[in-house]
Structure 1
Amino acid sequence: MKQESDTSFQGPMLWMTALVLTAGNFVAILDSTIANVSVAHIAGALGASNSQGTWVITSYAVAEAITVPLTGWLTRRFGTVRVFRYALIAFGIGSAMCGLAHSLGFLIFSRVLQGFAGGPLMPLSLTLLLRIFPKNKAATANGLWATTTLVAPVVGPILGGWLCDEYTWPWIFYINVPIAIICGLILTMVFRHQKEEQQKHPIDKIGLLLLVIWVSALQIMMDEGKDKDWFASNYIITLAIIAAIGFAAFMIWEITQKKDPIVNLSVFRHRGFSASVLTLSLAFAAFFGINVLTPLWLQTNMAYTATWAGLATAWTGVSALIIAPFVGALSARVDGRKLVFFGVLWMGAVTFIRSFLNTDVDFWTISIPLLVMGFGLPFFMIPISAQAMMSVEPHEMDSAAGLMNFLRTLSGAFATSLVNTVWENQTHYKHEQLSVLIDSSGTYFRSLTESGIDTEVARGIIDQITTSQSVMLATNDIMLYSSVAFTIAAFAIWLGPSTRKH
């Protein structure tokens, strides 16, 4: 079922409000990736190691992951518009504090504040878009939201790399401040005459505590696992146990908490919502994983700068933007499951093609498949959000949007850790295999030494070639695994019913 639309929004007012809402969603998602390529700059400026610098990413992800599923309770308690407006203002304040930080500790504290504020912006931007657009333009609302959700993670590394290369790292946070202030003021004026019902719901303290415990433990485990050699570390084992026990306790408590649960898990009773979220989690994990891997591979093994690595991956967002309006219009007439199936399979097919690259690839050989892949993204993201939100009751939409975004965020974090670990392990494995095969007769080594190159330098040259090929093969393996995940996700959407009205 659809949320009732607000008929007071028409013409320029409708589109101005929609722009403000999508801007809020954009900056929240942008900041989940904008610091990814900036860790080295930040750590160096604040006198920290790169390992410590990754907490700039982790702290935001943990805070955001905690508040996203709380969206339903917050809106019932304080009202949807009020929560969105204050979250946007707090996000701007947190961004300014990040830019002004002169120590890693204060920066992490500021990122936590920023993450807490950014969490509700994602689901509530969708809820409010569906509220202000007429029912017959719900597909347009979903399209706007899905497009910003798709483009922001792609733009983040590009913008972050460019700002760090050309200016200084604080600007990756300062750019949010004017957006948050302007959009917050506009929302205050636009919604000033609207009254929202506020219910005095008591907070589910035990549910909130359990949520904080298991989400924090899981997120930290996934972020730190690779550096700590995963379950060879007692630290990681302890975090895994805490996360598992905390999750089990949280599920039992929330399912049995009939009155005012902190997270409304009952929305999963809707088959359409469950199938959509399953598809979203699998496909977004595959997409986000390769989106993290590609610039990392380009920078560490293909000698690309942060800016050029970002530019190579940007083409996905360009093609997604071009095709999004068409898909938005099409989704109002076609069964969303067919569109999602096509879009996810398309992404899987392009990813499969990408699993056959070699070290001689140039910029356009990398970028063109990403450009082609972008044409499938709107077919996936626009209908999937509509399928999920149309499957629940109107009063459940805030909770459903929060849970959907929570699982999307969590799947992205899980994919990042998994991809980094598998990539590194596969690189070592391929290196061991190739070391036996490359120049097994010693012909190349002898030609190098006979040409006057020092013995150790010659060995280093051969090892460098072996490493380069190992990384390429490991990268291709990740692409192949991701294409399988896309295929499974494409078929998962058929577990849900059609939500199209005849």
Structure 2
Amino acid sequence: MNQPMQMTDLKGGRLILAALVLALANFMVVLDMTIANVSVPHITGSLAVSASQGTWVITSYAVAEAICVPLTGWLAGRFGSVRVFVISLFGFTLFSILCGLSTSLEMLVFCRIGQGLFGGPIMPLSQTLLMRIFPPEKQSQAMGMWAMTTVVGPILGPILGGTISDNMSWHWIFFINIPVGIGCAIAAMRLLKTAETPTQKLKIDRGGLLLLVLWIGALQLMLDLGHERDWFNSPFIVVLALTAFVGLIVFTIWELTERHPVVNILLFKYRSFTISVLALAFGFGAFFGSIVLIPQWLQINLGYTATWAGYLTATMGVGSLTMSPIVAKLATKYDQRALASFGLSILGGVTLMRAFWTTDADFMALALPQILQGFAVPFFFIPLSNMALASVLPQDMASAAGLMNFLRTMAGAIGASIAVTIWDDHTKVARSEMMSSLHVTEVQNTLVNTGMSSEAALGYISSLVDKEALTLSANHVFLVLAGIFIFAAMIIWLCPRPKAGVGGGHAH
């Protein structure tokens, strides 16, 4: 998308209202990324599926959204930013209703894909339209308000998701989008008419889009179904792996030779962009993997309600809100590689703290890494985004932002799938190891002597072993994720030193 020109028709109350509508629409979409995290045990229980299958509810949304983000520029240029924004809101709301009405996992995953496809353009378009309705001198304040909704969404998501799931039912985490979606769509139609962007007949890279959907779909299916089908012992998983691998190679060659590529792969010629985006993808993948795993472990293993799992997850928000404006200022004065490396190292450290969690850990022991993580997130997120966009030419900024968001969202979906898969697989290993070293009969006899029946004693031993196996496995996952954070913190230094205070569009 080209840099939008400012529209002067909106003034006073109408301008504020239009800005609120755009911020609220963005908030709704960001909220939906995390609102389902703490509700997964409720959903899996209700639909009688496993915890790893429940994660598909999160990953299907993220993958669909990732596919749609690079298309936003083409959609806006072809049909107009406001029109696409309004249609996206109506589509998102419709699929939210269908998600809430879902009676099976297949239906819910299908509707979450629909939600993601319509939700994808809302985030970048709300940003573009805000820049379009505000005068240049007020644009930074407008973007500050927009950024706040992006930060607050993931904080409120777990709290809202938990409270709604515990007190009403998980269906309502989707139904709450109905008044917001319809209200924002109608308000946008009335208020933003004058902010519509000119349209033209743009060519779309149909081949590239088809290949993108093919290899990403195959990769995500492979990750989601892998451990259920015994990985590469299953011919179906082998076919998916080959499809993803060959599809990626063909897609890369196609995009390099296409005049209007759906994803501009040539941006990877900038070393700073490539390294920054790579570190961002690794960091976000590990981050998203942990925030999907923690609420499930808290509820399955420690008996937390979804509400309390939400509160604990949301303690991260205090630090994020506090540090975001501070880090934004620091990024203009200091070496952004150092800031990003510092943030990723702290994230590695707090994830390492989690690798020593036990089944009798109290609320504060669990909340402390979350609070510290909140302070570290802006240090990794803001400098890396700045460095990536500062390393490309001004005319490539929109493509670079689209590619960066695409890779970040994909990394989140892949990180969540891998974290839950390792957790599930390693739990079985840990359980069999514990059972082989445990003298079950002796323990059972001791419990029977305290007045338990033989069956109750066996059940008690089994549940204790299950709990410990789940915790040992979660600790193993956190150890792997900590390693990924440290790796990302180190590769940042492969970037050339960015100029202090450089804005976007200064290619090296």
Q: Distance in 2 between matches of 1:171 and 1:77?
A: 35
Corresponding residue for residue 262 of structure 1:
262
Kindly provide the CA deviation profile for residues 248-293 of structure 1, in whole angstroms up to 9, marking residues without a partner as x.
2111111111x21222222223333222211110111111111111
Q: Distance in 1 between matches of 2:162 and 2:196?
A: 43
Q: Does the C-alpha gap of structure 1 residues 373 and 388 become closer, same or farther in structure 2, counting only changes over 3 Å?
A: same
TM alignment of 1:87-166, pairs within 5 A: 87-100=88-101, 107-128=108-129, 148-166=149-167
Percent of aligned pairs with the same amino acid: 47
Instruction: State yes or no: 1:468 paired with 2:457.
Output: no
Q: Does the C-alpha gap of structure 1 residues 181 and 463 become closer, same or farther in structure 2, counting only changes over 3 Å?
A: closer
Q: Which runs of 5+ in 2 are unaligned?
A: 503-508
Q: Distance in 1 between matches of 2:161 and 2:413?
A: 19
Corresponding residue for residue 407 of structure 1:
407
Q: Does the C-alpha gap of structure 1 residues 346 and 228 become closer, same or farther in structure 2, counting only changes over 3 Å?
A: same
Matched to 1:87, the amino acid is S
Corresponding residue for residue 343 of structure 2:
343
Corresponding residue for residue 425 of structure 1:
425
Corresponding residue for residue 301 of structure 2:
301
Q: Distance in 2 between matches of 1:391 and 1:201?
A: 27
Q: Distance in 1 between matches of 2:199 and 2:372?
A: 46
What is the Cα-based RMSD across aligned positions, in Å? 3.3
- Deviation, 1:228, is 2.4
Q: Distance in 2 between matches of 1:110 and 1:54?
A: 14
Q: Distance in 1 between matches of 2:168 and 2:122?
A: 28
Q: Distance in 2 between matches of 1:402 and 1:317?
A: 26
TM alignment of 1:319-334, pairs within 5 A: 319-334=319-334
Instruction: State yes or no: 1:86 paired with 2:87.
Output: yes
Q: Does the C-alpha gap of structure 1 residues 110 and 484 become closer, same or farther in structure 2, counting only changes over 3 Å?
A: closer
TM alignment of 1:36-435, pairs within 5 A: 36-38=37-39, 41=42, 49=49, 56-57=57-58, 59-100=60-101, 107-128=108-129, 148-194=149-195, 196-257=197-258, 259-435=259-435
SS at match of 1:196: coil
Kindly provide the CA deviation profile for residues 367-405 of structure 1, in whole angstroms up to 9, marking residues without a partner as x.
122112111112222232232233333333332222112
Q: Distance in 1 between matches of 2:436 and 2:104?
A: 48
Kindly provide the CA deviation profile for residues 316-365 of structure 1, in whole angstroms up to 9, marking residues without a partner as x.
12321233232233334334333222222121111222222222211222
Q: Distance in 2 between matches of 1:253 and 1:377?
A: 36
Q: Is the 8 A contact 1:96 1:173 kept in 2?
A: yes
- Deviation, 1:40, is 6.0
Q: Does the C-alpha gap of structure 1 residues 62 and 372 become closer, same or farther in structure 2, counting only changes over 3 Å?
A: closer
Q: Distance in 1 between matches of 2:201 and 2:296?
A: 48
- Deviation, 1:79, is 4.1
Matched to 1:222, the amino acid is L
Q: Distance in 2 between matches of 1:339 and 1:190?
A: 40
| 180-189 or 200-209: bigger deviation | 180-189
Q: Distance in 2 between matches of 1:501 and 1:157?
A: 35
Instruction: State yes or no: 1:450 paired with 2:449.
Output: yes
SS at match of 1:425: helix
Q: Is the 8 A contact 1:126 1:141 kept in 2?
A: no
Corresponding residue for residue 26 of structure 1:
27
SS at match of 1:32: helix
Q: Distance in 1 between matches of 2:184 and 2:244?
A: 37
Matched to 2:206, the amino acid is K
Q: Distance in 2 between matches of 1:76 and 1:67?
A: 15
Q: Does the C-alpha gap of structure 1 residues 211 and 36 become closer, same or farther in structure 2, counting only changes over 3 Å?
A: same
The TM-score with structure 2 as length reference comes to 0.86
Kindly provide the CA deviation profile for residues 12-46 of structure 1, in whole angstroms up to 9, marking residues without a partner as x.
7776555443433332232233334445655776x
Q: Is the 8 A contact 1:95 1:173 kept in 2?
A: yes
Matched to 1:29, the amino acid is V
- Deviation, 1:203, is 1.8
Q: Distance in 2 between matches of 1:195 and 1:453?
A: 73
| 456-465 or 198-207: bigger deviation | 456-465
Corresponding residue for residue 478 of structure 1:
477
Q: Which runs of 5+ in 1 are unaligned?
A: none
- Deviation, 1:233, is 2.1
Q: Distance in 2 between matches of 1:270 and 1:82?
A: 34
Q: Is the 8 A contact 1:72 1:264 kept in 2?
A: no
Kindly provide the CA deviation profile for residues 454-480 of structure 1, in whole angstroms up to 9, marking residues without a partner as x.
445434433433332232222222222
Matched to 1:67, the amino acid is C
